């Protein structure tokens, strides 16, 4: 069964005997946003067609934000777009974005551990989280490090939700973030990158 066959968190929790909890685990460290990036991003928001499909949201909103943060960590991490991820026939598919350890053998090798998985959904967060949690399960199994956290993000471009999987517990962050508060949003994503290096 591929990731997109999971329609909600409950499906994944039941199939893999996971526990569910909600708490605030993200620690925001506000940082400045590069003015060139901000000007270009605001221009795209103002003049571009950015919310009409999941693909448009990926290309115009999610990818630029992830890429801007990734640039600070590119010596240690790689950002992959629409790269297949397969553990077995029940956990396979194509996450919208994966952040993984940078391979010492070259940038074209998708290296473990898989650290952050991002799923874009036009507006169906319930289905988005079902897919994202299945992706987190695949990453955890492939990493073969149950004590290591893997992080998930589901976004429709405007609203961003965060979760983490550690061992048998999925924790959804109680605070969501909005695109209109870009500084706090980018600080939250930056936290995931920092934690992924540790």
**Mean pLDDT value of segment 3-19:** 94
Domain ranges of the chain: 3-197
- Name the band, by pLDDT with cuts 50, 70 and 90, for residue 147: confident
> How far is Cα 43 from Cα 3, in angstroms, rounded to an integer?
34
For domain 3-197, give the CATH number: 3.90.1570
pLDDT tens-digit map of 100-116:
999 999 999 999 999 99
Per DSSP, 180 falls in state G
pTM recorded for the entire structure: 0.96
Pairing of strands 159-166, 150-155: antiparallel
> How confident is the prediction for the chain on average, in pLDDT?
94
> Is the pLDDT score of 1 beyond 60?
no
């Amino acid at each position: 069964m591929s990731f997109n066959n999971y329609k909600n968190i409950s499906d994944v929790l039941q199939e893999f005997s996971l526990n569910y909890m909600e708490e605030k685990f993200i620690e925001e460290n506000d940082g400045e946003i590069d003015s060139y990036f901000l000007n270009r991003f605001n221009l795209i928001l103002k003049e571009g067609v950015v919310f009409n499909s999941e693909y448009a949201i990926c290309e115009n909103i999610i990818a630029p934000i992830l890429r801007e943060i990734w640039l600070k960590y590119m010596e240690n991490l790689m950002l992959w777009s629409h790269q297949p991820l397969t553990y077995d026939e029940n956990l396979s598919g194509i996450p919208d974005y994966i952040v993984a350890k940078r391979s010492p053998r070259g940038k074209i090798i998708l290296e473990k551990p898989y650290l952050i998985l991002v799923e874009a959904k036009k507006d169906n967060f319930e289905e988005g989280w079902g897919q994202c949690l299945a992706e987190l399960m695949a990453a955890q199994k492939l990493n073969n490090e149950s004590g290591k956290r893997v992080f998930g993000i589901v976004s429709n471009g405007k609203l961003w939700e965060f979760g983490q999987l550690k061992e048998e517990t999925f924790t959804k962050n109680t605070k969501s973030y909005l695109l209109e508060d870009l500084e706090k949003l980018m600080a939250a994503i930056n936290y995931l990158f920092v934690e992924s290096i540790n």
